[in-house]
Amino acid sequence: MEDLSKFIRDVPDFPKKGIIFKDITTLLKDEKAFKSAVDIFVKKYKELGIEKVVGVESRGFIFGSAIAYKLGVGFVPARKPGKLPAETLKEEYALEYGSDAVEIHKDAIKKGEKVLVIDDLLATGGTLSATCRLVEKLGGKIVAVACLIELTFLNGVEKLKGYDFYSVIKC
């Protein structure tokens, strides 16, 4: 497959002025590009004994569920607070101004299960690092953390030190 970065659309001033949003819908609508993106992750992780894929809300659900399906393992959603129906664990993380949080069901991961954590994009690393802490609180063993796109200028990978991190596209 050709360079997948060609399938990412930049949307200036979204969701607010000064932000250049990396729109993956242009990749998702192309059957070859979407398949290629999923296949890249599956090929990289298929031999590592992964038992669960945790996808971060919301675009991480798209890649995470497809990867889990292809690996033949379970999928676990990590969501914003108040979105999951059963008992959850919550992990807060700092934003530039304020904080946010992510939750996961308490029964989502068994102690010792090998987990792949995935999202569409790594920016500052707050959401992914909080998700990793939740997985570990449940006793999961994080095999890898992965994203389709990494915004290298934000240096979010620093918050993921100690984890095997991989991104397909670096911007």
Catalytic residues, by residue number, are 59, 96
The radius of gyration computed from the CA coordinates of the chain, to the nearest angstrom, equals: 15
Which pair of tokens denotes residue 151?
Answer: 């915004």
Q: How many CB atoms lie within 10 A of CB 48?
A: 13
Rounded Cα distance, 82 and 53, in Å: 21
CB 167 within 8 A of CB 152: no
